[in-house]
Amino acid sequence: MIKITRLRKSICPELHDEDMQGNLPAWIFLPIHGKNHWSLAIIRLHNDDAWLAHLDSSQGTHDPEAIFHVLKQVLYLIVPIDPALVMTGIMNVEQQQDGHSCGKHVLQMLAGATGRSQTDWIDVLRRRGLDI
């Protein structure tokens, strides 16, 4: 867990540091949807550094550099990490052979990264309002 030393109130004024109990998870998994396609971003927070990864089963559909830019700005607003120092990487993953199995690939990537089943992830995402 990384200690929050700064939380900009402009993002969510009703959220106070004590609501977060001073900690953020070490791993954050973000399913990303755009252009009728799903991909996965991973944020790894450790001590005072961070790295971002983008996993896309249809490389070229989502722009990883644009995703990294947005995520770096979000990180900067939450934790005191200089965006220029955040490492990024595009992970090579199995490429889908059709135009519709991207959601299945995101679930496979989540299951592989976390050790939870795809069914568990379907339940988690549906509870959060995502139809993947």
CATH number of the domain bearing residue 19: 3.30.310
pLDDT in the model for residue 46: 80
Query: Which domain range does residue 6 map to?
Result: 2-96
Q: Is residue 27 part of a domain?
A: yes
Q: Is residue 126 part of a domain?
A: no
22: left (phi over 0), alpha (psi -120 to 50) or beta: left
Q: Model-level pTM greater than 0.85?
A: no
Determine the angle formed by the axes of helices 102-114 and 118-127, rounding to 10 degrees: 110
Q: Is residue 109 part of a domain?
A: no
pLDDT in the model for residue 132: 61
Q: Is residue 117 part of a domain?
A: no
Q: Is residue 129 part of a domain?
A: no
Q: Is residue 85 part of a domain?
A: yes
- Residue written as tokens 């990537």? 109
For the segment 39-86, what is each residue's pLDDT rounded down to a tens digit? 999 999 887 778 999 999 999 899 999 999 999 988 888 777 888 889
pLDDT in the model for residue 37: 94
Q: Is residue 132 part of a domain?
A: no
Half-sphere exposure (Cβ direction) of 49: Cα atoms closer than 13 Å: 6
Query: What is the tally of structural domains in the chain?
Result: 1
Q: Is residue 52 part of a domain?
A: yes
Confidence of residue 113 (pLDDT cuts 50, 70, 90): confident
